[in-house]
C-alpha cells in the first residue's frame, strides 16, 4: 500500500513533536527535584511516565482517526494525546496543575480529558478498554461510522478488563481496535515473566477476531496494520487487536533506577531510532527534501515551546476551586433527597 506523502509528513511531524515534548518534560519535571527527589516539588508535581521511543504507535494508529473517533489511553498518555490532536497548551497546563488545564489543573498527567477530540486516559491498568468498547457501542447504536481505539501496555493485556471487554466487543461486533504497546516491561517485569504467549496477537483467536503483531517499532508497518483494523471497524465488521513491538527509552517513571535492564539496552535501541528511520526513508525515496523536514521539525518545536510557555505563565487554581466541578448539577426534573 502506497502511503500518501501528506500522511507520511504528518506522521514525521507528529513523532518529532512527541519526542521534543517528552524530552522537554524530562528536564522540566526534574526542576526542584534535585538534589533530593521530592515528588511534590517543582513545576510538575506527581508521578511522570514518558513515552520517548514509542512514537510510532501513536502516529501510525492516529493517522487513521478523525476527531469524532474515540481514543482511550493509559498512564503513559502524552504520545497518544498529541497524535489525537489534544490541545497542547491546555494539556501542558493540566500537567503543570494550572487553571487553564484541560481539567482546570485537578487531574495532572495521568488524567487528561479532551472532549473536543474524544480523548481520555487514566492510571488504572486496562480500564480504558471497556471505556473504548462503550464508546464503540454508542457509535453503533447511533448509526455513526465513528470508531474507538484503546491503547494499553503489554502488561495490561493480562488484566481481566482487557479480556472481558474484548469478549463483549467481539460478540456485539463493535467498531473498536485494541492496540497493545509491547515495550518489553510492565514496570520492571519483562513480558516473558508475565505472559504465557510470546505475542498477544495469539489471543485474538480466543475471541474470533483478527489480530496482528507488528515488529521492530516500525511506523510504516504500524500504519498499514492499523489502517486495516480501523477500516474494518468503520465498515461495521467488528473489533481487531494490534500488538506493536515498541521501545521505552526512559524509565517506567521519571526517577526509576532501571536496575532491571542491561545498561547497553537503551543505546542499542536508540541506534535504531524510529524517527531517524522514517527520516531516512522519506529522503531516500525522494518524497521530501532536507528543507521540508527542517520546516516540519521547526513547526513541531515551536508548538511544544509555545505549550510549555503557556503552562508556565498560567495561574494556579484558587484553593476554593478544589470543591468546584465535583458533581454534575442534577437535571431540573430530578428531585434530590434533602
Ligand atoms: C489495576 C492496576 N493494577 C496495577 C497498577 C500499577 N501499575 C501501574 S503501571 C503498571 C505496569 C503497566 O505496564 P504496561 O501495561 O506494560 O504499560 P507500560 O508502563 O509499559 O507503558 C502497573 C502494574 C495499576 N495502575 N492499575
Q: What is the DSSP string of 114-183?
A: BGGGTEEE-SSTTTHHHHHHHHHHHHHHTT----EEEEEETTGGGSHHHHHHHHHHHHTT-SEEEEEEE-
Nearest CA to ligand 1 atom 25: 124
Residues of the chain above pLDDT 90, percent: 94
Nine-digit cell string for 144? 455513526
CA distance 223 to 229: 10
Nine-digit cell string for 77? 498518555
Ligand 1 center–CA 155 separation, angstroms: 6
Ligand 1 center–CA 301 separation, angstroms: 30
Ligand 1 center–CA 250 separation, angstroms: 15
CA distance 85 to 116: 9
CA distance 112 to 187: 21
Q: What is the dihedral of CA 187, 216, 29, 104, to 10 degrees?
A: -90
Contact 24, 54 (CB under 8 A): no
What pLDDT, on the 0 to 100 scale, is given for residue 338? 64
What pLDDT, on the 0 to 100 scale, is given for residue 324? 93
Contact 215, 245 (CB under 8 A): yes
Query: Would you give the distance in Å from CA 295 to the centre of its chain?
Result: 25
What pLDDT, on the 0 to 100 scale, is given for residue 34? 86
Give the pTM.
Answer: 0.97
Query: Would you give the distance in Å from CA 70 to the centre of its chain?
Result: 12
What pLDDT, on the 0 to 100 scale, is given for residue 185? 98
- Could you tell me whether strands 70-73 and 185-186 are parallel, antiparallel, or unpaired per DSSP bridges? unpaired
Ligand 1 center–CA 215 separation, angstroms: 22
Read off the pLDDT of residues 201-235 as tens digits, 9 standing for 90 and up.
999 999 999 999 999 999 999 999 999 999 999 99
In this prediction, the residues of the chain whose per-residue pLDDT falls under 50 are: none
Residues in contact with ligand 1 (CB, 6 Å cut-off): 75-76, 123-125, 152-156, 183, 185-187, 252
What SS3 class is residue 290?
Answer: helix
- Could you tell me whether strands 240-245 and 211-214 are parallel, antiparallel, or unpaired per DSSP bridges? parallel
Nearest CA to ligand 1 atom 6: 125
Kindly state the helix (H) or strand (E) to which residue 332 belongs, with its residue range: none
Query: Would you give the distance in Å from CA 130 to the centre of its chain?
Result: 16
What pLDDT, on the 0 to 100 scale, is given for residue 329? 81
CA distance 281 to 300: 19
Read off the pLDDT of residues 103-160 as tens digits, 9 standing for 90 and up.
999 999 999 999 999 999 999 999 999 999 999 999 999 999 999 999 999 999 999 9
Ligand 1 center–CA 25 separation, angstroms: 21
Name which of 9, 79, 11, 10 is nearest 221 in CA terms. 11
Nine-digit cell string for 29? 519535571
First and final C-alpha spacing in the chain: 63
Amino acid at each position: 500500500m502506497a502511503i500518501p506523502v501528506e500522511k507520511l509528513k504528518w506522521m514525521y511531524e507528529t513523532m518529532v513533536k512527541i519526542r521534543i515534548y517528552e524530552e522537554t518534560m524530562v528536564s522540566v519535571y526534574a526542576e526542584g527535584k534535585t538534589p533530593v527527589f521530592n515528588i511534590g516539588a517543582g513545576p510538575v508535581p506527581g508521578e511522570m511516565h514518558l513515552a520517548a521511543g514509542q512514537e510510532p504507535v501513536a502516529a501510525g494508529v492516529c493517522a487513521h482517526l478523525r476527531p469524532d473517533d474515540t481514543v482511550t489511553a493509559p498512564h503513559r498518555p502524552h504520545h497518544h494525546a498529541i497524535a489525537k490532536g489534544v490541545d497542547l497548551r491546555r494539556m501542558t497546563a493540566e500537567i503543570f496543575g494550572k487553571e487553564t488545564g484541560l481539567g482546570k489543573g485537578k487531574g495532572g498527567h495521568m488524567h487528561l480529558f479532551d472532549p473536543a477530540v474524544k480523548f481520555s486516559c487514566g492510571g488504572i491498568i486496562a480500564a480504558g478498554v471497556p471505556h473504548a468498547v462503550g464508546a464503540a457501542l454508542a457509535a453503533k447504536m447511533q448509526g455513526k461510522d465513528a470508531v474507538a481505539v484503546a491503547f494499553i501496555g503489554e502488561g495490561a493485556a493480562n488484566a481481566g478488563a482487557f479480556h472481558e471487554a474484548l469478549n463483549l466487543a467481539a460478540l456485539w461486533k463493535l467498531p473498536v481496535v485494541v492496540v497493545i504497546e509491547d515495550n518489553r516491561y510492565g514496570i520492571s517485569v519483562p513480558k516473558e515473566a508475565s505472559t504465557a504467549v510470546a505475542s498477544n496477537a495469539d489471543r485474538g483467536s480466543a475471541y474470533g477476531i483478527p489480530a496482528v503483531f507488528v515488529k521492530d517499532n516500525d511506523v510504516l508497518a504500524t500504519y498499514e496494520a492499523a489502517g486495516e483494523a480501523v477500516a474494518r471497524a468503520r465498515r461495521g465488521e467488528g473489533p481487531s487487536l494490534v500488538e506493536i513491538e515498541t521501545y521505552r527509552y526512559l524509565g517506567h517513571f521519571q526517577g526509576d533506577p532501571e536496575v532491571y535492564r542491561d545498561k547497553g539496552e537503551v543505546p542499542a535501541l536508540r541506534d535504531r531510532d524510529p524517527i531517524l528511520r522514517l527520516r531516512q526513508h522519506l529522503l531516500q525515496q525522494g518524497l521530501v527534501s532536507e528543507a521540508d523536514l527542517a520546516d516540519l521539525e521547526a513547526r513541531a518545536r515551536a508548538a511544544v515551546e509555545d505549550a510549555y510557555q503557556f503552562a508556565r505563565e498560567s495561574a494556579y487554581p484558587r484553593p476554593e476551586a478544589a470543591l468546584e466541578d465535583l458533581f454534575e448539577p442534577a437535571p431540573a426534573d430530578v428531585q434530590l433527597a434533602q
